[in-house]
Structure 1
């Protein structure tokens, strides 16, 4: 969700910088050419250099001011023509050619300034729609849902987009807190539509169905009914109905990690590896949830394959999440937002500052009574 805001922020910085420059840059170019022409003396024809002023205006001001700079530059050249001896030339074709060339550059510069303005307005409109769609499709959860603390980072790798093929949801239901993380095969609008189907089905089934396997089955039925073209979705379902354990259900997704308070990391491989959603109808029955014990201070780390498949530009290695997440998340069950930011920053550093795939990082931790603090830990506020 942050990448469009980042792009818009960078665009605002660029626009503010250019607006501060305003007319100063093209006017400075005109003044510089005029000063050079006067310093060179008569019979030195330097004023054609003013042709640089309209293009400079096109990148710093609107089209109306660009037109003003073009007219001003032409007026300056006409005023200096007698001084430079242009009016005494026997062949006026040279003067005519200069005027035509300058006029063409001015017209093109005005057009560029207009296109730049309309493009910026269009981008802002698209970004606003994308932000609204993001909130409607994947509503950012609160830092606490039911008895679960959580933090998430969702980033779409698509330029100027907030929505991609990765999805997540965390809901407080009558059966406990239920969570879903998934990854749609493919990208673009089709992946967004599939994400909407999966999330809509999950939000309905999570409140209606008593078993986690039944929730997943409802979602899979919706995928089979509404998703065409052979698309499928890897998914992981989780249910917290007790403070000391979590039920997991695996549909071909990246296995979750359990990070203990001391930083020990365990990969939670499923007892029954299963096909992704959309392909489950190839078998008669679905997978069975398995229960994993959680100790005080444990953090459950869920992610999509955009995290573990992020490559380093230096040595082309994948991001070693299981090796690094322990030190980044250890003891952070009281402050998951800082922890997920550390993991994301480390991921970006490994990937050279840019990602080529959508990413979801989701940290979940049951909220119990306050844990005894490490010497380095800040005191916990009871909730």
Structure 2
């Protein structure tokens, strides 16, 4: 858009003034040009538009007969009012530029912080293909209280998805504690339950704000199955190659991380069969609690995800984008909470090709 809108408005006023003749004094309408410039161009260009408009009014003053008025009070009053509007418009444009630069700087720092905190995994971690979509409800921050991690360890591929109660800097700090503890324990501990116990202990030691974290742990250590451990999180979904969706409700649901003082023991992991081509769908509550602006209904992930993900184990990136696009359509184009969509599909690595052994001489 640039200067076209303010210059076009100025040209329109000048044309109307010339067409109407000396009996119609229309040049004060040029006062709309500087405010239009303030919302479309830089403060320097806004000042240019203001000065140009003042010169145009001065040039048209004799034609309109303004200079024929004794003492030129009308013209000077008009020029003073126009100059005031111009200066105020320049100030608005300067503030808008400054805010845009600050927003860009914050977004850049936040994006770097997100990558440092989340460390987005490769499309394949060990024998597991994956795709993730992370969206923060705070557009400027690009980070929030939702978290995830997928690691290849000596004990298999281990994954974590979680959601910190609350938002803002405190939620980000809590996410950092959880992810740091998980990355350490995932390599050190032999059982998924002991990994979770160490994370829970770390939360109790370092998180003093009273926050808690819903979490789901997953471990791919045996071909044909996945081990899961539930800490109050959204139940995972298993999508088969034909689009059948199975909700994997835990046999032993548990309280979130950070609340272990309320219960004497810990949850027990359970194992779920996974056939070749099956996709495990993990998400945070920002997905299933996204409301439609039309009827206020929550997003029916279990009903929608089957055809969107079925058979997509070789192209999970496209599948996760389809689910996210469908979620946005349901929510009217915007989300009010952080969202993580994580798709996992174990696939054995292809065997390396070896050159044919030379024939044994007879």
| TM bin (shorter chain) | over 0.9
| Structure 2: distance between partners of 1:244 and 1:24 | 63
Equivalent pairs counted in the alignment come to 351
| Structure 1: distance between partners of 2:8 and 2:332 | 39
What is the TM-score normalised by the length of structure 1?
0.88
In the TM superposition, residue 197 of structure 1 has moved relative to its aligned partner by 0.8
Question: In the alignment, which residue of structure 2 is the partner of 1:236?
Answer: 216
In the TM superposition, residue 108 of structure 1 has moved relative to its aligned partner by 0.7
1:127 counterpart (107, 123, 126):
107
For the Cα contact (< 8 Å) 2:61–2:75, is it kept in 1?
Answer: no
Superposition pairs for residues 1-383 of structure 1, below 5 Å?
Answer: 18=1, 22-90=2-70, 92-368=72-348
Gaps of 5+ in 2: 354-362
Per-residue displacement from partner, 1:49-86 (whole Å, max 9, x unpaired)? 11122112222321112112211211221222222221
| Structure 1: distance between partners of 2:44 and 2:304 | 55
| Structure 1: distance between partners of 2:84 and 2:253 | 67
Per-residue displacement from partner, 1:127-152 (whole Å, max 9, x unpaired)? 10011011001111111001101111
| Structure 1: distance between partners of 2:86 and 2:206 | 54
Q: Secondary structure at the match of 1:53?
A: helix
For the Cα contact (< 8 Å) 1:296–1:368, is it kept in 2?
Answer: no
- RMSD, aligned α-carbons: 1.7
Q: Secondary structure at the match of 2:70?
A: coil
In the TM superposition, residue 24 of structure 1 has moved relative to its aligned partner by 2.9
Per-residue displacement from partner, 1:285-343 (whole Å, max 9, x unpaired)? 21121111111221111111111111222222221111222222112212211111121
What is the TM-score normalised by the length of structure 2?
0.93
Gaps of 5+ in 1: 1-17, 371-381
Q: Secondary structure at the match of 2:214?
A: strand
In the TM superposition, residue 91 of structure 1 has moved relative to its aligned partner by 5.9
| Structure 2: distance between partners of 1:349 and 1:75 | 51
Per-residue displacement from partner, 1:205-228 (whole Å, max 9, x unpaired)? 111111111111111111111112
Q: Secondary structure at the match of 2:9?
A: helix
Greater mean deviation of Cα atoms: 167-176 or 276-285: 276-285
